A and B are shown apart, each in its own frame.
Chain A
Amino acid sequence: MGRPRGRGRASASDGATPALASAELVVIANDGHEDARVVTTPGVYAMYDAGGTLQYVGLSRRVRASVKTHAFEIPQYCHAVRCLAMPDASKAELQTAWKTWVMEHVAASGGLPPGNAPGNKLFSERRARPSKACVRLSDGKDPEMSAEALTEAIARCVKDHKVVAFIKGTREEPDCGFSHRVVNVLHDLSIDFDTVNVLDDYYNPNLLFVLKDFSDWPTIPQLYVNGEFVGGHDIVNSMYESGELKKLVGAA
């Protein structure tokens, strides 16, 4: 009996785990972890980097949540994912499916996925990150806050906070892959930084539009250090990779 192509699905009754290669490869770079094809159920998943190399095979009671966490913490290894939904699986069945996928890769490549290698905690380790409330640009009492007033609030914000990122969502739950990455970078630098949620229409009404005029920059996220606009996602990432960002924020 053929199984529908696409999202993998296994059941306890058939006793067989679909092949790793048969599961649909879903690109998750930049927001893709919320793709409906990344299942929310228990199951097994396989993470691939941008070069198509399998980095890790994991099992989870909530596949999408796990995928999102990985994508947030180590985006360089999480360009795409294959998922196998196993909504009714026991722990033993999950482990069996996980082992099947790992061994399939071992048979094909001669070695374990790097992230599954003994001693490699890149995927299994959960990084403790400080929680910090977003900066609010108003008290929420004026939903019709004028562009002029909001512009002044932005100016005060970037002046008063040495390192501040305007992002979509919060630092704990960014709503955008690009914002994810910038928050991730700032966390990796182990610095104190602030965030402003441009989608919070209660405390930051119309911020998304006014900010773009303020900075003459059409995209979100935007990073400011010492009151100066540093750049958006691509520039911040590039500066992080070159070490320039560390020097900049270190001087903040």
Chain B
Amino acid sequence: MFTRLAPAQVTAPTATERNRVSRGASVVTRVRPDGGACQETAGAKMNVGRPVYTAITQKLTRALAPTVLNVIDESAMHAGHVGNPSRGDPSAETHFRVEIVSDAFEGKRQVMRHRMIYDALSEEMDNPIHALQLKTKTPSEVSSA
């Protein structure tokens, strides 16, 4: 469920929220009081050892200025799967689910929205991302839901 954060709701991540930055958890990008997305998310700062996760978060933030960005690393759930290029490497980052809300999607069909994301992550899509699931909405779509 998408929930748009009003400026008044913007808060620094609590210790509990920071502790959620782990494989399988998600990080919500916070919006600055002036409405702009932060250049670095709490997730990015907490994920020095997670280069793909960090890159996804940073690149999508820069490219799309999202009001909500959930990046969920599901790699561990697919670690043993045949065909998974990680070959069981527990540190591999290969499967992600991204949920994103951005004004940049306004007036655009889903195909174009997904292409915008793929363009931003073209380097990671070549390697090592094996699967990327996307859910995109505009703030107005979230409000009307």
Tell whether, in the assembled complex, residue A31 and residue B114 are in contact, meaning their CB atoms are under 8 Å apart: no
Chain B interface size, as a band, is 20 to 34
Kindly list chain A residues whose C-beta atoms are within 8 Å of the C-beta of B45: none
Tell whether, in the assembled complex, residue B115 and residue A216 are in contact, meaning their CB atoms are under 8 Å apart: yes
Asked if B2 is at the interface of the complex by the 8 Å CB criterion, the answer is no
Residues of B69-87 at the interface with A, using a CB-CB cut-off of 8 Å, are 77-78, 80-84
Tell whether, in the assembled complex, residue B82 and residue A234 are in contact, meaning their CB atoms are under 8 Å apart: no
Asked if A231 is at the interface of the complex by the 8 Å CB criterion, the answer is yes
Asked if B133 is at the interface of the complex by the 8 Å CB criterion, the answer is yes
Tell whether, in the assembled complex, residue A30 and residue B82 are in contact, meaning their CB atoms are under 8 Å apart: no
Asked if B125 is at the interface of the complex by the 8 Å CB criterion, the answer is yes
Kindly list chain B residues whose C-beta atoms are within 8 Å of the C-beta of A230: 111
Instruction: Say how far B91's CB is from chain A's closest CB, in angstroms.
Output: 18
Q: Mark A120-147, 1 if CB is under 8 A from B, else 0.
A: 0000000000000000000000000000
Tell whether, in the assembled complex, residue A232 and residue B80 are in contact, meaning their CB atoms are under 8 Å apart: no
- Report the Cα distance A234→B134, complex, angstroms: 7
Chain A interface size, as a band, is 20 to 34
- Report the Cα distance A219→B135, complex, angstroms: 15
Asked if A238 is at the interface of the complex by the 8 Å CB criterion, the answer is yes
- Report the Cα distance A64→B93, complex, angstroms: 26
Tell whether, in the assembled complex, residue B111 and residue A32 are in contact, meaning their CB atoms are under 8 Å apart: no
Tell whether, in the assembled complex, residue A234 and residue B111 are in contact, meaning their CB atoms are under 8 Å apart: no
Contact for A31 among B83, B110, B115, B133, CB less than 8 A? B83
Tell whether, in the assembled complex, residue A235 and residue B78 are in contact, meaning their CB atoms are under 8 Å apart: no
Instruction: Say how far B55's CB is from chain A's closest CB, in angstroms.
Output: 16
- Report the Cα distance A29→B84, complex, angstroms: 13
Asked if A163 is at the interface of the complex by the 8 Å CB criterion, the answer is no
Kindly list chain B residues whose C-beta atoms are within 8 Å of the C-beta of A218: 118, 122, 125
Instruction: Say how far B33's CB is from chain A's closest CB, in angstroms.
Output: 33
Instruction: Say how far B3's CB is from chain A's closest CB, in angstroms.
Output: 20
Asked if B132 is at the interface of the complex by the 8 Å CB criterion, the answer is yes
Instruction: Say how far A205's CB is from chain B's closest CB, in angstroms.
Output: 21
Instruction: Say how far A153's CB is from chain B's closest CB, in angstroms.
Output: 22
Tell whether, in the assembled complex, residue A219 and residue B110 are in contact, meaning their CB atoms are under 8 Å apart: no
Q: List 22 A-B contacts (CB under 8 A).
A: A26-B80, A27-B77, A29-B77, A30-B95, A30-B131, A31-B82, A31-B84, A32-B78, A34-B83, A36-B82, A217-B111, A217-B118, A218-B122, A218-B125, A219-B125, A229-B111, A233-B133, A234-B114, A234-B134, A235-B110, A235-B111, A235-B114
- Name 14 extra pairs, CB < 8 A, besides A29-B77, A217-B111, A234-B133: A27-B77, A31-B78, A32-B78, A32-B81, A35-B82, A178-B131, A217-B114, A217-B115, A218-B122, A219-B132, A231-B110, A231-B114, A232-B114, A234-B114
User: Which residues of B pack against A, CB within 8 Å?
Assistant: 77-78, 80-84, 95, 110-111, 114-115, 118, 122, 125, 131-135
